Amino acid sequence: MEDSQLPIDFTSNEALKLKEQILNLQKEIKKVREKLLPFEQLLRNAIADLIIEERELVILYKKQKKAKKEKRLEQKRRGKNYKEPKGLKVLQKEKVSIVKEDIKEKKRLYKEAMLYVHPDKFSMNGEEETLATDITTKLIEIYQTGTLEELKEYHSYIFSGNLGVKIPKGIIPKSETNSNNYLKSELVRLEKELDKLLNSYTNKVLNEYDKPMLFVDELKAYYKDRIFKLKKRTRTK
């Protein structure tokens, strides 16, 4: 091993416990999904036409509502005493400024982490290359769809040593968050995901109904009622 490389191969007891809990949750989620998703697909197939009609009416209703709002605003603008709201513009400017700062910080953290875990840096070691690919995939996912706080946590986790990545001396950044925060956040997220799956109405139907597919009749009644009400609101025939 070169002197310029500092091997960080320790893993804290807390991190090990968190990883084990996460792995168990992932297995449980997979097991529930393997039973639930095919059932939900059967339900969707049975009421596909009703779902499409309901979605089309929802979109139409939203368009009509937006058009009415714009019409009322235009009528106000034509009034003699109308004044453009000032506070809204100030709030929008402040919001834009905060968003720009968040985007800038996300780019910085992403670039810093990517620079030292990109698979090309581990091309001489098959296992490390696979590890780096997995880390990079997750990093890209959080950068593109996650929040700044989530990226900070994963950034800290990458440089903590708990992933077994070798970081060159002198470049380990000062972490703003606890290195295990990412694992803790991931654990909470998975707990919520499992809870949502287990407590979903379709899961209860699948496990509690003697004949789960009879639920199709309930769904048809629900969507027909929705369609009837939406047609009245949109004045469509």
Q: What SS3 class is residue 209?
A: coil
What pLDDT score was predicted for residue 80? Answer: 59
How far apart CA 133 and CA 128 sit, in angstroms, is 8
What is the mean pLDDT of each successive set of 10 residues along the chain, which is 237 residues long? 37 81 95 94 92 91 89 78 59 64 86 72 60 83 89 84 57 56 88 94 94 94 93 78
Q: How does pLDDT run across 158-176, given as a tens digit for each residue?
A: 877 666 655 554 444 555 5
Please give the single-letter amino acid code of residue 163: L
How far apart CA 105 and CA 152 sit, in angstroms, is 9
The pTM score is 0.59
What pLDDT score was predicted for residue 48? Answer: 93
DSSP assignments along 65-118, one per residue:
HHHHHHHHHHHHHHSTT----SHHHHHHHHHHHHHHHHHHHHHHHHHHHHHHH-
What pLDDT score was predicted for residue 7? Answer: 33
